[in-house]
Each structure stands twice: as structure tokens, then as C-alpha cells.
């Protein structure tokens, strides 16, 4: 652990997808059953920028910073989000007083995909580059150019 950077364990009891979604269209009711999602646990955040980044987890209302060129070590489950109304649960990544990303695990994606949005929009989101599917322990990297990258963690 980097001196001065305290480990912070964050976890929330997720509401695992298990219920069926039934919606009527012009024909009989259609049933869509969500698969049970795997938890994605950020175990480390690496900040490769020259300025500190602020991390805010909306689901738990917890905020901490990762110093420039520094590292945070702990346990933080990525919140499941299934629509725009749930985007407030996301992990928000900011620097320079500007929110740059909202990071979340896609509730409906059976590959347990971690996604990000730059506009706080579920529909306008993209897969985090790297090892961002399959759940499990991950390292989230804020690259020096401000892009995100995710890799498997021990």
C-alpha cells in the first residue's frame, strides 16, 4: 500500500437479478429472465494521471481520492445498473473538478460486463477496455491520457 493511502473496504448487498420481466406487446406476454450476475470487485485503483482523481460511489455515498501517480487498495463492488434511473448508483470518477466517467456493471448483460458513460446515460455507455467481463476481482486504471482500463487482479 502507498504511504498515506488508506485501504477502504466498500461493499453493498446487491439485489441480484433473479426476477422475470413480463411485458405485453401486440401478442402474448414475453418473459425475459435475468441471469444471476457475478459480483465485480475492484481491489485496486491505479491513478497514472499527474493530478489526483476523486472516486464517488453513489450506491454507498462514499468519496475518496487517489493521489497523482498513486494507488488505492481495498474492496469496492461495482454497482449493478439496468436503466437510466439507476445511474446514481454508479462509481463516478472526477479530476480537475469535472466528472469524467460513471462506471457500473450492466444488470442485463449475461457476460457481467463493466461499462462506463461520459454522459451519465445507461444507453450511451461503452465497455471498459481490458478484462471488464466475467465478474471477479479487478484493477481499475485511470491512464495518463484520462482513459480507463481494467485488468484482472489477484
Q: pLDDT tens digits, the chain, 154 residues: what are they?
A: 433 333 344 433 334 443 333 333 344 444 444 556 789 999 999 999 999 999 999 999 999 999 999 999 999 999 999 999 999 999 999 999 999 999 999 998 878 899 999 999 999 999 999 999 999 999 999 999 999 999 999 8
Distances (CA, A) of 34 to 12, 20, 111: 20, 7, 11
Return all residues near 40 (Cβ < 8 A) that are at least 6 apart: 77, 78, 105, 112, 114, 135, 136, 138
Map grid coordinates 480537475 to a residue.
96
Q: From its phi and psi, is residue 126 left (phi > 0), alpha (psi between -120 and 50) or beta?
A: beta
Q: What is the pTM of this model?
A: 0.78
Amino acid at each position: 500500500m502507498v504511504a498515506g493511502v488508506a485501504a477502504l473496504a466498500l461493499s453493498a448487498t446487491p439485489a441480484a437479478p433473479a426476477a422475470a420481466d413480463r411485458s405485453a406487446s401486440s401478442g402474448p406476454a414475453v418473459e425475459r429472465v435475468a441471469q444471476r450476475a457475478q459480483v465485480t470487485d475492484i481491489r485496486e485503483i491505479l491513478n497514472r494521471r499527474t493530478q489526483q482523481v476523486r472516486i464517488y460511489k453513489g450506491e454507498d455515498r462514499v468519496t475518496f481520492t487517489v493521489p497523482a501517480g498513486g494507488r488505492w487498495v481495498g474492496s469496492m463492488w461495482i454497482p449493478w445498473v439496468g436503466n437510466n434511473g439507476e445511474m446514481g448508483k454508479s462509481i463516478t470518477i472526477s479530476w480537475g473538478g469535472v466528472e469524467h466517467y460513471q462506471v457500473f456493471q450492466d444488470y442485463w448483460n449475461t457476460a457481467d460486463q463493466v461499462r462506463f458513460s461520459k454522459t451519465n446515460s445507461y444507453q450511451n455507455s461503452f465497455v471498459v477496455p481490458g478484462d471488464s467481463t466475467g465478474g471477479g476481482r479487478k484493477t481499475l486504471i485511470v491512464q495518463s491520457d484520462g482513459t480507463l482500463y481494467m485488468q484482472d487482479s489477484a
